[in-house]
Amino acid sequence: MSVATSFTQYCPLLLGGDILSLSPSFLLHGKFLRDVPIGATHKLRPPGDIILSALQYGITFGSLCGLAEELGITEPQLIETLGFLNCAGGLRRRRTLQGWLIAMRYTAIHAPTGAINPALSWRQRLSYKSLAYATLRATWPVVLLGILVATVAIVSGIISTVTGLYAMGYALPLFVTSIYIHELAHTYVLRFANIKTDVMQLRLRLGVMHRKASRKVELYCAVAGPSAGIGLCIPGMFYGLTRHVLVIWAASAAIAIIHLAGLLPLYGDGASIRRSWQNSEAI
Ligand SMILES: [Zn+2]
């Protein structure tokens, strides 16, 4: 498999009892691994092909390590392959409750030393439900932090209780919903162009994965997301301004700016727009 050593750093924390498998978005055909929604094909070479064959039907990490040892596959080679799969969203992991408790204990012990394991990427075929789930997975730390900050601000008297409740009851749900609508807008454009999509989440990052589309579709897709997110904030900005509810206006404006920042040309949607614009003569 054409993997660089850097993929080692993307391998998540795995326990012996964790059941690992290959995402249904990936198909194994002989010496080739095909990422169906993306349309990418990876040529496999030993030992990657053996590891992926074992993952196809599900295997515990402990058994996979045993298999690797039997076949003379070194631990770095195994970790590298699993890191590559995690990077592409192709690794599935099922863990028992006891396993989660062990993992949390391990993380709590090692976190103070700065040794934080990479997260497991979460990738699913796109649906309203999977997108909603992925959105919640990506945004819950922000929501939790928002609730904590607002609570501390209320308790310490920095803001009034009413303002704090507006922040928690309006701003946080608006933030989560706007992220959902943003990604949904991307998928509508792609669906209109008959392009299959997956949703992928890794920590705070959330995105729609798809094969390369025409420049026109890429441009519309990139513009649609931030526009939908901003559009959802406009009624709140208008309401806050006309009814003189500063917190509603400020929260709506701040969230709209987050989506607007996505249009900056350096990364994400902005980078897609820039690339499409540079090739606009081909549209
Ligand atoms: Zn976007």
CA distance 90 to 84: 8
Spacing, Cα 183 to ligand 1 middle (Å): 6
* Mean pLDDT across 74-90: 90
The answer on 155 and 81 residing in a single domain is no
The pLDDT mean for the chain works out to: 90
List of E strands, 57-167: 59-60, 91-94, 122-125
The answer on 238 and 130 residing in a single domain is yes
Per-residue pLDDT at 151 exceeds 80: yes
Spacing, Cα 6 to ligand 1 middle (Å): 27
Beta bridge partners of 33: 28, 42
CA distance 165 to 151: 9
* Mean pLDDT across 139-165: 93
Contact 208, 199 (CB under 8 A): yes
* pTM assigned to the model: 0.85
268: left (phi over 0), alpha (psi -120 to 50) or beta: left
Spacing, Cα 29 to ligand 1 middle (Å): 32
State which residues form the domain around 47.
8-113
Q: Is residue 3 assigned to a domain?
A: no
What per-residue confidence (pLDDT) applies to 58? 92
What per-residue confidence (pLDDT) applies to 280? 58
* In the block, residue with structure tokens 């931030």: 226
Q: Is residue 2 assigned to a domain?
A: no
Per-residue pLDDT at 42 exceeds 90: no
Nearest to 171 by CA among 232, 85, 104: 232
The answer on 163 and 60 residing in a single domain is no
Q: Is the dihedral of CA 174, 180, 186, 187 positive or negative?
A: negative
- Copy the structure tokens of residue 22: 């290959």
The answer on 86 and 39 residing in a single domain is yes
Structural domain count, the chain: 2
Spacing, Cα 269 to ligand 1 middle (Å): 5
What per-residue confidence (pLDDT) applies to 112? 83
The answer on 105 and 162 residing in a single domain is no
The count of residues in the chain is 283
* Mean pLDDT across 48-55: 85
Spacing, Cα 150 to ligand 1 middle (Å): 27
- pLDDT per residue as tens digits for the range 237-250: 999 999 999 999 99
Nearest to 53 by CA among 121, 1, 7: 1
Spacing, Cα 273 to ligand 1 middle (Å): 11
Spacing, Cα 151 to ligand 1 middle (Å): 30
The answer on 211 and 190 residing in a single domain is yes
The answer on 232 and 108 residing in a single domain is no
The answer on 65 and 28 residing in a single domain is yes
Domain boundary pick from 113, 138, 157? 113
Give, as one character, the DSSP assignment of residue 113.
Answer: G
What per-residue confidence (pLDDT) applies to 45? 73
Domain boundary pick from 51, 84, 113? 113
Residue 4, helix vs strand vs coil: coil
Please give the torsion angle defined by the CA atoms of residues 145, 148, 154 and 159, in that order, rounded to the nearest 10 degrees. Answer: -10
The answer, yes or no, to whether the previous bond of 47 is cis (omega within 30 of 0) is yes
CA distance 255 to 234: 10
- Residue 205: exposed, middle, or buried by beta-carbon count in 10 A (0-12, 13-18, 19+)? exposed
DSSP states along 211-228: ----HHHHHHHHHHHHHH
Give, as one character, the DSSP assignment of residue 19.
Answer: E
The answer on 243 and 126 residing in a single domain is yes
